[in-house]
Amino acid sequence: MAVQNHLSKLAPAFKPEKYKLGEIPAYQYKSSLKKELEAGNITKIKAVDVLEDMLVIREFEEMIVKLRTGAYDACKGYSYRGPTHVSIGQEATSVGCCAAMNYDDYITSTHRGHGDSLAKGCVAIRGMSADELKARIPESKAASKKELMDEALEDHIYRAIAELFGKEDGYCKGRGGGMHIADFKAGHLGANAIVGGGVPIATGSALSSRYYRNGKVTCCFAGDGAYANGVVLESLNWAGMGQFTNKEFTDKPFGLPIVYSVINNHYGFTGKTDGEVSGTKYVARRAAGFTDNNMHAEVVNGMSVLACMDAMRRASEICRRGEGPVLLEFDTYRNYGHSLGDPRNEYRTKEEEALWKELDPIASLEQELLDNKCITAARLRKLKEKVADRNARMAAKAAWSADPDPVDVIRYMYTDTRVDEVPEQFSKVELIEELPEIKRSESGELTYKDAIKEAMIEEMLRDKRVVQWGEDIAEYGGAFKVTKGLINSFGRDRCFNTPISEACICGTAVGAAMTGLRPVIELMYMDFGLMASDQISNQAAKWHYMSGASIEVPLVYRASVGGGKGYGGQHSQTLESMFAHIPGLYVVYPATPCDAKGMLKTAIRDNNPIMFVESQILYNKKGVVPQDEYLIPLGKADIKRAGDQLTIVTWGPMIYEALSAAEKLSAEGISAEVIDIRSLVPLDMETIVASVRKTGCCIVTSHSVGIGSFTGEIASRIMAEAFDALDAPVLRVGAKDGIAPQAYTLEEAFLPHDYDIVAAAKQLI
């Protein structure tokens, strides 16, 4: 069916009324293990498994505490260095949530995420088939599924400790460590050292599940402190968007299948959420601001693993019915400080801590298991001994296992993979309406803008995993009409508007890319990328490396640059140099329509995160663009004009100024070679150096301000790699070291022009 557009908003009658926010239930769980067993919600075997998982977490984290003082006998002589954010006291939340989910559901976690990681891995392993277990531990010689499971659980503990210790055998090969531990094969999409940093990733994961309708739910663990973070609140707003469920917008209503699990341990670092840095009694109250159903919000006793399981089971069912998102607040407590260097005595009392320790979730579950004859006292002792012994053996094994080889210090920074062949299930694309018409001139010319649009259409036709979102890109077609008509052809699932939330726009792309989509994101202005810089720089750019190459993040951020249009200081910055300073991110900037199309197609097929920069002043620039399929490699410069006396290295709109300057220099008998680098990262130094060795002189120019510009990086590398060939210093030409002005006369003076290049050339020759 055709895409439905929203109905016109009728003017209200402005009659007095009161908007009711509804109720948010708190501490409603009144059941017991006995009743759960009778109702069939849990078996005796699973109840014991739940206890074992809680004991695993407690033993693991008590090991960390002992390691700091040298009191962990299994690792005598081993010096542990690394984070010590333990969650002792919070085990019920990690285990209860994971145990109530499907084994192949997703989670994201936090810097205090050892418990979440251990719990998710244990639950996933118990849910796996024999074949899945064999794939997880391929060297196993186990004959039965029970033996396979035991080996996999032992391997899970080992790899978690090895990652904590920064070892090559760790889940992330020691690249991430405890604060970034992930196990993508178990559905754990990563712990995050940026408070709240994983929340938009989880939201993007849920978006992916909604798109695929695969029945998977994402549980997003984050602390109470995170819910004062801007991108977290942006994510809640995103998750509740009406276009997911409003029949005016979609013929397939389905809310995001995500459960925001607020682990409220009452302290951010030392600041107390209750009554100090928050104006509400419960964090869950904030849900009323994002959906009319309050996101099914509930406050749960986080010290009762049964209450946690009950709440997560119901929340997961809501999500699988398409009625998400859900927000659950788990009221719990961390027995230790923010880290082991935090003595707690400056902001807590011993009386407070003693009262909470009386509610210890492990002790209360042990008693219920004994009372209901799920376990005997003797077997309980053996279970505790088993957990402690396994942890000790795996810790000793990890402590003396191989460290990563220093030679590999930047290995895994980028992936060299791409989608050369689209899997069959993603290659069959059904159109809702005919494709928007893109008109070529008689000579085969397209505008820069239409070349980009044609690239996106072709890639969306080729691979249904290519999905686009951004501000106003749907019916309106984006601020610059680059996406106009795509929603009519591909539908709202593949091209949709977002809130004005750049951080969430970019962060959801990370989670979606991790879980199977290939997002193409529009940033209306590159200036707005600064609002999203954490998600671009700390998340998208870093996860391939931090995961030890166990995940790829294939996404494209299309960012328009507005310098030269009189838009002033907050809409005119040319910031590609800034993002080129972020390892793990590709940065490309085509200048011609032909390059724009060929490079965007290549970027969409690449499995690295890519900042794709577009100049607004080039959007209407015309050039010949082949109609036949073609790709232009990233990291390969193009010589736009040959010469033998001077090399001009540039990119973006300065290409045209450089060509104009070369023409003027030619009239004066100076032969200039113009190189369009096209990609800042990766950078084709081979072509640049070869030209400089031929000419002996070089100017590097761009629209960027001079200070901190990538022109300096290129100049420095020329000096280092071709110094012996230089007849004069490398000169740079760029915008003035100031803020882009609005006034036409001032902006003309602010930006570099062909005559600036000519003047620089005459200094050299």
| Structure tokens that stand for 489 in this block | 């052809």
Q: 690 lies in which domain range?
A: 638-764
Rounded-to-integer distance, Cα 219 and Cα 658, Å: 52
548: region left, alpha or beta (phi > 0 left; psi from -120 to 50 alpha): left
Rounded-to-integer distance, Cα 390 and Cα 21, Å: 50
The model's pLDDT over 465-498, given as tens digits with 9 standing for 90+, comes to 999 999 999 999 999 999 999 999 999 999 999 9
Rounded-to-integer distance, Cα 221 and Cα 312, Å: 12
**Would you say residue 60 lies in a domain?**
yes
Residues 694 and 720 in one domain: yes
Q: Name the domain boundary from 408, 443, 475.
A: 408
Residues 605 and 500 in one domain: yes
**Would you say residue 12 lies in a domain?**
no
Rounded-to-integer distance, Cα 325 and Cα 332, Å: 22
**Would you say residue 20 lies in a domain?**
no
Q: What average pLDDT does this structure show over 369-389?
A: 98
Residues 491 and 379 in one domain: no
Residues 158 and 219 in one domain: yes
Q: Would the CA dihedral through 650, 653, 654, 659 be positive or negative? A: positive
Residues 330 and 476 in one domain: no
**Would you say residue 30 lies in a domain?**
no
46 closest CA partner among 61, 57, 36: 36
Question: What CATH number corresponds to the domain at position 748?
Answer: 3.40.50.920
Q: Name the domain boundary from 562, 590, 624.
A: 624
Count of beta carbons in the 10 Å neighbourhood of residue 472:
15
Peptide bond into 404 cis (omega under 30): no
**Alpha-helix runs per DSSP H in 609-753:** 654-667, 685-695, 710-722, 744-750
| Structure tokens that stand for 121 in this block | 């891995």
Rounded-to-integer distance, Cα 520 and Cα 501, Å: 16
Question: 668 with 620: CB under 8 angstroms?
Answer: no
Residue 720 pLDDT class (50, 70, 90 cuts): very high
**Would you say residue 120 lies in a domain?**
yes
Largest alpha-carbon pair distance within the chain? Answer: 97
613 closest CA partner among 595, 589, 633, 632: 589
The residue written with tokens 């490309």 in the block is 588
| Structure tokens that stand for 335 in this block | 């027995």
**Would you say residue 451 lies in a domain?**
yes
Residues 388 and 480 in one domain: no
**Which residue among the candidates 85, 114, 180, 571 is catalytic per the annotation?**
571
* pLDDT computed for residue 2 by the predictor: 44
- Burial class from Cβ neighbours inside 10 Å (0-12, 13-18, 19+) for residue 78 reads middle
Residue 9 pLDDT class (50, 70, 90 cuts): low
The model's pLDDT over 283-340, given as tens digits with 9 standing for 90+, comes to 999 999 999 999 999 999 999 999 999 999 999 999 999 999 999 999 999 999 999 8
H/E stretch holding 495: strand 495-497
Q: Is 502 a catalytic residue?
A: yes
Rounded-to-integer distance, Cα 258 and Cα 302, Å: 19
Question: What CATH number corresponds to the domain at position 469?
Answer: 3.40.50.970
**Would you say residue 163 lies in a domain?**
yes
* For residue 251, pLDDT beyond 50: yes
* pLDDT computed for residue 572 by the predictor: 87
Query: What are the backbone dihedrals phi and psi of residue 579, each rounded to the nearest 5 degrees, phi first?
Result: -75, -20
Rounded-to-integer distance, Cα 208 and Cα 547, Å: 20
Question: 587 with 679: CB under 8 angstroms?
Answer: yes
Angle between helices 230-239 and 199-212 (to 10 degrees): 20
* pLDDT computed for residue 3 by the predictor: 46
Q: Name the domain boundary from 560, 591, 624.
A: 624
Domain count of the chain? Answer: 3
* pLDDT computed for residue 8 by the predictor: 60
Return the minimum-mean-pLDDT range out of 165-169, 248-252, 737-741. 248-252
652: region left, alpha or beta (phi > 0 left; psi from -120 to 50 alpha): left
H/E stretch holding 557: strand 555-561
Angle between helices 44-69 and 377-399 (to 10 degrees): 50
541 closest CA partner among 550, 529, 554: 554
Q: How many degrees, rounded to 5, is the angle at CA 57 between CA 54 and CA 59?
A: 105
Q: What is the share, in percent, of the chain residues with pLDDT greater than 70?
A: 99
Question: 545 with 733: CB under 8 angstroms?
Answer: no
Q: What average pLDDT does this structure show over 208-222?
A: 97
| Structure tokens that stand for 434 in this block | 């005919």
Question: 582 with 541: CB under 8 angstroms?
Answer: yes
Cβ contacts of residue 754 below 8 Å, gap of 6+? 657, 658, 660, 661, 664
Question: 506 with 233: CB under 8 angstroms?
Answer: no
Task: List Cα–Cα distances, 761 to 670, 698, 753, in angstroms.
Answer: 9, 8, 13
3-state SS assignment for residue 38: helix
The model's pLDDT over 12-59, given as tens digits with 9 standing for 90+, comes to 889 999 988 899 999 999 999 999 999 999 999 999 999 999 999 999
The model's pLDDT over 76-131, given as tens digits with 9 standing for 90+, comes to 999 998 889 999 999 999 999 999 999 999 999 999 999 999 999 999 999 999 99
Rounded-to-integer distance, Cα 761 and Cα 758, Å: 5
112 closest CA partner among 129, 90, 141: 90
**Would you say residue 415 lies in a domain?**
no
Residues 648 and 619 in one domain: no
Residues 290 and 250 in one domain: yes
Residues 524 and 481 in one domain: yes
H/E stretch holding 650: strand 646-650
* pLDDT computed for residue 45 by the predictor: 97
| Structure tokens that stand for 539 in this block | 């998340």
* pLDDT computed for residue 320 by the predictor: 98
- Burial class from Cβ neighbours inside 10 Å (0-12, 13-18, 19+) for residue 172 reads buried
Question: Quick one: CA torsion of 465, 635, 505, 299, rounded to 10 degrees?
Answer: 80
3-state SS assignment for residue 469: strand
Cβ contacts of residue 682 below 8 Å, gap of 6+? 586, 634, 635
Peptide bond into 325 cis (omega under 30): yes
Question: 519 with 510: CB under 8 angstroms?
Answer: no
Stronger pLDDT, 567 or 284, i.e. the higher one: 284
Residue 252 pLDDT class (50, 70, 90 cuts): confident
Residues 590 and 690 in one domain: no
**Which residue among the candidates 502, 576, 657, 673 is catalytic per the annotation?**
502
The model's pLDDT over 628-649, given as tens digits with 9 standing for 90+, comes to 999 999 999 999 999 999 999 9
Rounded-to-integer distance, Cα 436 and Cα 488, Å: 8
Q: What is the share, in percent, of the chain residues with pLDDT greater than 90?
A: 91
Residue 509 pLDDT class (50, 70, 90 cuts): very high
The model's pLDDT over 646-702, given as tens digits with 9 standing for 90+, comes to 999 999 999 999 999 999 999 999 999 999 999 999 999 999 999 999 999 999 999
What does the chain come to in residues? 765
Cβ contacts of residue 358 below 8 Å, gap of 6+? none
Rounded-to-integer distance, Cα 159 and Cα 122, Å: 12
Q: What average pLDDT does this structure show over 346-350?
A: 93
* pLDDT computed for residue 275 by the predictor: 85
Strands (E), 275-390: 298-301, 326-331
H/E stretch holding 397: helix 377-399
Residues 438 and 529 in one domain: yes
Residues 453 and 571 in one domain: yes
The residue written with tokens 């995170």 in the block is 226
Q: What average pLDDT does this structure show over 526-533?
A: 93
